[in-house]
Chain A
Amino acid sequence: SQKIEQNSEALNIQEGKTATLTCNYTNYSPAYLQWYRQDPGRGPVFLLLIRENEKEKRKERLKVTFDTTLKQSLFHITASQPADSATYLCALETGGYNKLIFGAGTRLAVHP
């Protein structure tokens, strides 16, 4: 069956450290993989997109890797801040026309 898995347990880290979140998928062949941030009671906010032929993408303190052989994406936040505390969602785009398949998300808590 098709699955997208993200760490179900919250990730707690100290301010200034690097947070690493994992997204694994099975039985999908996504052309694109996206990461979104979601705060409680609000809609997701787009962060980064990576294509199937790209290995790594960076934006400021964010870095995404995409390994289509392992069927895994890693999302890194360097020099983390308490303001980075949120739920981070991994989403696969497959089949065209903006249809996104989301994971359940990982809650990140950055402590001062």
Chain B
Amino acid sequence: DAGVTQSPTHLIKTRGQHVTLRCSPISGHKSVSWYQQVLGQGPQFIFQYYEKEERGRGNFPDRFSARQFPNYSSELNVNALLLGDSALYLCASSLGRGSHEQYFGPGTRLTVT
């Protein structure tokens, strides 16, 4: 079975630009979460979606937004990129209600110059 997939693998953007990151969950998983991981730190929660609705939001500015599609895939959008947005962006999927373990994708490495 395919695991969580993310695209692109790597991305280089300039300050002020916009970026869209994509995630496909494991088949049958209805919950998708996004995390930001800066080098040397643990992942930090950004968003969680379940059944296409936002269920949780972390302490990130409004420049960060996300959505989940009817096939449960998800996009993370970041506007007006800052140097500090450089990080590994991780997507995790879960079955959803009653299921707690999360399955992470390989991440998208975003570099902002």
Contact = CB atoms under 8 A, between A and B. Distances in A.
Contacts of A36: 104
Contacts of B100: 32, 34, 49, 93, 98
Interface string A27-50: 000001010100001111110010
Interface in A1-52: 4, 32, 34, 36, 41-46, 49
Contacts of A32: 100
Interface residues of A, number: 24
A89 to B, nearest CB: 5
B31 interface: yes
The size class of the interface chain B forms with chain A is 20 to 34
Contacts of A43: 4, 90, 92, 104-107
A95 B42 contact: no
The A interface, classified by DSSP as helix, strand, loop or mixed, is: strand
A36 B104 CA distance: 10
Contacts of B31: 97-98
A99 interface: yes
Nearest to B105: A43
Interface of A: 4, 32, 34, 36, 41-46, 49, 89, 91, 93, 95, 97-105
6 contacts: A49-B101, A99-B33, A99-B56, A100-B43, A103-B42, A104-B42
Given A93-B100, A100-B35, 12 more contacts: A32-B100, A43-B90, A46-B101, A46-B103, A49-B101, A98-B31, A98-B48, A98-B102, A99-B58, A100-B45, A102-B43, A103-B42
